[in-house]
A = this chain, B = another copy of it.
């Protein structure tokens, strides 16, 4: 949401009586804005205001109470309501540096652009589905259910590992994927990124090296930089990391951790083959390497591909994930499944740094949606919809000389090579000027050798307008 968005309670939430209250509130704030009422001045009495606006006195009472809650006015017992002296306290406007646009195209660039883009922007660079592709009806049902939940769920911090119902559900889901993990081995976290962050805090010390794929999810790089950790990357092939380079990196750099997506790898959409998965684990074992498998795209696969965590039995692989891609990114919650020895230490760390994990309310919401019979039908339909969209977008992009590196078996990303000599960062800059947020290749590349690539989110490319702007940006960037 842009900084200048008008501040409102969502209108969808308004009852008729609430919209009358809103009208009275707007009336008062306008009087103040027009300086017809200044700081310290008394507001019209309840009765007078009610008569003037043809509403009931109780509506005015409600409106004045809300304005008190907002600090716009204050009450003096027996004397009435007065305008707060807040305007005087406000500093003059800060210089409006458009920090998001001014910044270099670094691994945080796409995140900041996508998160804060104008609602009108097209975002083929972002990492999420359009809202109307998400199971929002099931969420609405779950929210109505939560409104009837017991007081403790609404009020308390929740248990240190996260509510057991969702951990039970995850344990059962993992079992169907061949991964044995007791609920006690599962920790709910504030987000998928937070899950990786906690593991890094537990396992890494200054001077340690971490291995990532090239290309890899840009936020792995941003996160590891925040840890001031040495980062080494190995080339990613359509079957997983290049095994010769992987082995050489283990020998040369002795990394403590390897972070990857084994299925529907971000950004390429490729999936690790069984043979590569086995080789990765053998090498990890020989070189005492711990692996974080970020399985955030798991549910987008048409059928289950080999998983490092399942092959390894959670000995040296740690599974992490979240619900942001398939259920809701607004319901922040991630998880860690790991060897029991690590879990207790991770719980302590999360209590120390966040006093627990996700909101228990959000956990109950997620549990409720996942247990809703409609959810797996929604996912089935979504997989089909995405398969169709991937084909369409791949065809349209190819027609513009933008060629997919692999045809992914699921998910919403296409990792594409741009026409010869076109620099993706240059395209992204021209696109941003046209309110089109793109994800240029080098934000994914620790080695900075993906200048000719771009990641496209096919779900965000449903209209000709986006393609038109892309075409213009591409034209503007041609050497």
Contacts and interface: CB of A to CB of B under 8 A. Distances in A.
A354 B154 contact: no
B144 A132 contact: no
A436 to B, nearest CB: 18
Which of A70, A164, A225, A355 has the most chain B CB atoms inside 10 A of its CB?
Answer: A355
A160 B136 CA distance: 22
Chain A contact surface mostly = helix
Interface string A6-37: 01111011000000010000000000000000
A182 B94 contact: yes
Interface in A112-166: 112, 115-116, 119, 128-132, 134, 136, 139-141, 143-160, 163-165
Contact of A353 (B150, B182, B193, B374): B193
B182 A190 contact: no
Interface string A304-348: 000000000000000000001000111110000000100010011
B156 A329 contact: yes
A71 B370 contact: no
A262 to B, nearest CB: 19
A398 B115 CA distance: 55
B331 A361 contact: yes
Contacts of A3: 164, 183-184
A359 interface: yes
Interface stretch (A49-57, A168-176, A246-254): A168-176
Interface string A219-250: 10011011000000000000000000000000
A356 interface: yes
A373 interface: yes
A278 interface: no
Interface residues of A, number: 127
27 contacts: A7-B164, A7-B168, A8-B165, A9-B165, A10-B145, A10-B146, A12-B145, A12-B150, A13-B149, A62-B373, A68-B373, A69-B373, A72-B172, A74-B176, A89-B178, A94-B182, A119-B152, A136-B155, A141-B147, A143-B143, A143-B146, A158-B329, A193-B353, A197-B354, A223-B352, A332-B359, A361-B365
Interface of A: 1, 3, 5, 7-10, 12-13, 21, 61-66, 68-72, 74, 84, 86, 89-91, 93-94, 99, 108, 111-112, 115-116, 119, 128-132, 134, 136, 139-141, 143-160, 163-165, 168-169, 172-173, 175-176, 178-180, 182-185, 190-194, 197, 201, 206, 219, 222-223, 225-226, 324, 328-332, 340, 344, 347-349, 351-356, 358-362, 364-365, 367-368, 370-377
8 closest pairs, A vs B, by CB?
Answer: A65-B373, A13-B145, A86-B175, A131-B151, A131-B155, A222-B352, A143-B147, A71-B172
